[in-house]
Structure 1
Amino acid sequence: MALFSRRDKKTTPSDEVETPDVAPEAHAPAAEVEADDVPQVNISMSTFGKPAPAPRPAPTPVPDGAQRVQRGPAEAPARTESVPGLPDNVLVRQALTALPEQPEPSDIMTLMRQLLQGHLFVRVRGDARAQLAEGKQLTMAVSAVGDDRYLLAFTGGDALQASVAADGDKETSAMGQPVAAILRNVVDGPYAGFILDHATPGRRAILPKALVEKAMQDADPEFTLKNLLAGERTDETPAAVGAALATTRVWVAAGAVPGEDKRMGVSEVRGANGSRHLEVFSHPLEVAVLGRNDRAVPLTPQQLSKALAADVGLTGVVVDPAGPWIMLDRSALAPVIALTA
């Protein structure tokens, strides 16, 4: 947990479900805030299992041959610090900025999927460092929207500064926490949801508690895969992702095989060189935001291992094609394949 104290307007650092087996066969799927000031949308929880319109940002094709469907960017953008010493959550910030004035459910789901990685900041009344040292319970900054109370969260230092400038309360602290901890706080606490960057025009949104609860039910508690894909890529990244796949549940995108009314298959990426990579997803939201007529089917590591062992023609997997994504060959997947050895 990173902890920062703020004394003036400038922010500075101070410190299972049982599932049917699915054969890996490509189906070629193609402070105080007024409610009116913040983009919000009612989300049906059934949306996760239904096709959604394709996200607005233009995707970039995965290299290495012909692709049936374009993908998002392979790597996360470079880290930024809008306030020196306070790293921004760039993926969440980009998703916020891309929200239209009247967001559709697909827009909110795109934002929610990017919230499953990294860190955010919260404001704490008083000196958080001193309160922690004394064993006191921290009082988080919240906002009232009608009769509901929403936890305030921030993507970076500039959003924190804007919040302080808006309410004038300089006797607060800024505390960086993993997103997983903040979302659990929303689910377990007396909140109707949380508001991101509430004082930053053009980059703010309300996320209702029901959406957070649903997302957390399907999420790896540590957001392992998402954090790996969002982080800086090194020579060790493929092995780390392969190891994570050996311990973490994933999803595949199941759909009808063209020309066969009753047969189902799961989506692959096929290259002009004959390579075949099974698409796997860290969360069902990652399937939904592709905007295809697919259903997210969970796979345990053992089921994924059996699929890879049963089809030696599979070159490997592509994880989270909407981006950031990574393509792994069978050597990187050795920990997964070993589960059926």
Structure 2
Amino acid sequence: MALFSRRKKSDSDDASVDRPDTTIEPGEQPVDPGGPSDAPADAAGHDAPAPAEAAPTVGISMSSFRGVGAAPVDPSAPPVAARPSARQPGEMVAPEAPETVPGLRDNVLLGNALAEITGQPEPAQLLNIARQLLQGHVFLRVKGDARALLAEGKDLPLAVANRGDEQLVLAYSSGTALRASVEVDGDRDTSAMGQPIMALLRHVLSGPYGGLVLDPASGDNRAVLPTALLERMLAEADPELRVKTALVESRTEETASTVVDAIVADAPLWIAVNQTEEGGPVGVAESRSAAGERFLEVFSHPLELLALGRGDQPLPIKKIQLAKALAADAGLTGILVDAAGPWIRLTRDELAPVIALANEEAPSA
């Protein structure tokens, strides 16, 4: 059960929020091995959404890594990245999550992202932490017996930290991280509660808080996410986190169809675009397997792309645009979703319900 009631929707919930800035360095865009697509380059530029009734009209170019799951030419050599600063593709499947609080799994992906911090966190590390924060839930620390307080209809006093005049809500990636805070301050009159991340983000943004502190008693492996970043996260997230939830769960024969169903049901999607020089052609990131199969890179949230650190720009893509892009280029094997991991490849056969949309009339704007 969620601890927080959904606040009344305000104008700010629907307001457009600028995406985090990324820098496009001249000459960093990998060369297009297959040449431009049959579609003309997008004259509107890489940061303008394509019209709803049209397929993406940009050239296809390789991404900055050889491809998720692709073996390097020399099996003993690591995968080659075109940009040394870029994050390598992550694991396909999320690691097994233990239950350090009985009945609630740890957010292992968030914990792993926090574990990468040594000293002052880099911006790319914070973006990676932010994207993994969206992988389901966190633990909250409540003063007193949370169940009794709920039964009495009382508000739950969440643990907060003070930073000057600001209050920051404390959240934890695991029961172990929460217990570390209890050991530090010695206040054992504490309950551990799990909370869906979307409910927590809405609660923080509707209150007088300056942001979130994650795993505060974990030394270097802690992070502060200010409300400005939380607002961007919430503004462009699927309210149900359908694709991200499917990818973080244990893989089954239904995982692919679950992701496809989410796409057909209008789950938000983005592609990665870049431009080699001002006024030059715009390219869309593509990944290739060791066998040379081509997969269009698709992302469930702009953070999934920005955390890769490749300098690409996120561009929203509607399902009809994706459908027409796949229908127009039979050489595309399929799509690769959330390359930073957990990720999934979907083939044309699996994407048949999406491709079929290309024959339907696009809804009027």
TM-score (norm 1): 0.80
Asked if 1:22 corresponds to 2:56, the answer is yes
SS in 2 for 1:110: helix
Asked if 1:125 corresponds to 2:155, the answer is no
CA–CA separation in structure 2 for the residues paired with 1:199 and 1:271: 42
Give, as a single letter, the amino acid of the residue that structure 2 aligns with 1:273.
A
CA–CA separation in structure 2 for the residues paired with 1:135 and 1:334: 49
Do the aligned partners of residues 299 and 61 (structure 1) sit closer, same or farther apart at CA in structure 2, a change above 3 Å counting? closer
Give, as a single letter, the amino acid of the residue that structure 2 aligns with 1:200.
S
Measure how far apart 1:282 and its partner are.
Answer: 0.9
Do the aligned partners of residues 272 and 24 (structure 1) sit closer, same or farther apart at CA in structure 2, a change above 3 Å counting? farther
Gaps of 5+ in 2: 4-14, 17-47, 74-78, 82-87, 360-365
Mapping for residues 273-284 of structure 1, pairs under 5 Å: 273-284=291-302
Aligned to 1:74: 92
One of 63, 73, 76 as aligned partner of 2:70: 63
Question: Are 2:56 and 2:321, in contact at CA under 8 Å, matched by a contact in 1?
Answer: no
CA–CA separation in structure 2 for the residues paired with 1:317 and 1:62: 14
Question: Are 2:168 and 2:209, in contact at CA under 8 Å, matched by a contact in 1?
Answer: yes
> Relative to structure 2, which stretch is displaced further, 74-83 or 106-115?
74-83
CA–CA separation in structure 2 for the residues paired with 1:289 and 1:160: 26
Do the aligned partners of residues 314 and 241 (structure 1) sit closer, same or farther apart at CA in structure 2, a change above 3 Å counting? same
Measure how far apart 1:95 and its partner are.
Answer: 0.5
Measure how far apart 1:84 and its partner are.
Answer: 4.6
Mapping for residues 101-120 of structure 1, pairs under 5 Å: 101-120=119-138
SS in 1 for 2:209: coil
Measure how far apart 1:166 and its partner are.
Answer: 2.2
Measure how far apart 1:134 and its partner are.
Answer: 2.5
Query: In the comparison of the two structures, how many residue pairs are matched?
Result: 301
Question: Are 1:226 and 1:282, in contact at CA under 8 Å, matched by a contact in 2?
Answer: yes
CA–CA separation in structure 1 for the residues paired with 2:315 and 2:216: 35
Aligned to 1:338: 356
One of 259, 271, 284 as aligned partner of 1:252: 271
Give, as a single letter, the amino acid of the residue that structure 2 aligns with 1:74.
M
How big is the alpha-carbon RMSD for the aligned residues of Structure 1 and Structure 2?
Answer: 2.7
Measure how far apart 1:291 and its partner are.
Answer: 2.0
Work out the percentage of aligned pairs sharing the same amino acid. 49
SS in 1 for 2:60: coil
Asked if 1:312 corresponds to 2:342, the answer is no
Gaps of 5+ in 1: 4-15, 31-53
TM-score (norm 2): 0.75
SS in 2 for 1:240: helix
Measure how far apart 1:148 and its partner are.
Answer: 0.9
Do the aligned partners of residues 251 and 60 (structure 1) sit closer, same or farther apart at CA in structure 2, a change above 3 Å counting? closer
Measure how far apart 1:274 and its partner are.
Answer: 4.0
CA–CA separation in structure 2 for the residues paired with 1:298 and 1:149: 34
Aligned to 1:37: none
Aligned to 1:139: 157
Measure how far apart 1:257 and its partner are.
Answer: 6.6
Aligned to 1:49: none
Aligned to 2:105: 87
Aligned to 1:224: 242
Question: Are 2:142 and 2:157, in contact at CA under 8 Å, matched by a contact in 1?
Answer: yes
Deviations 1:179-237 (A, max 9, x none): 11111211111110011111222321111111111111111112221111111111111
Aligned to 1:188: 206
CA–CA separation in structure 1 for the residues paired with 2:343 and 2:330: 23
SS in 2 for 1:269: strand
SS in 2 for 1:267: strand
Asked if 1:285 corresponds to 2:303, the answer is yes
CA–CA separation in structure 2 for the residues paired with 1:306 and 1:316: 13
Question: Are 1:315 and 1:329, in contact at CA under 8 Å, matched by a contact in 2?
Answer: yes
Question: Are 1:243 and 1:333, in contact at CA under 8 Å, matched by a contact in 2?
Answer: no
Deviations 1:27-57 (A, max 9, x none): 2242xxxxxxxxxxxxxxxxxxxxxxx9xxx
Aligned to 1:298: 316
Give, as a single letter, the amino acid of the residue that structure 2 aligns with 1:197.
D
Question: Are 2:2 and 2:196, in contact at CA under 8 Å, matched by a contact in 1?
Answer: no
Question: Are 1:28 and 1:68, in contact at CA under 8 Å, matched by a contact in 2?
Answer: no
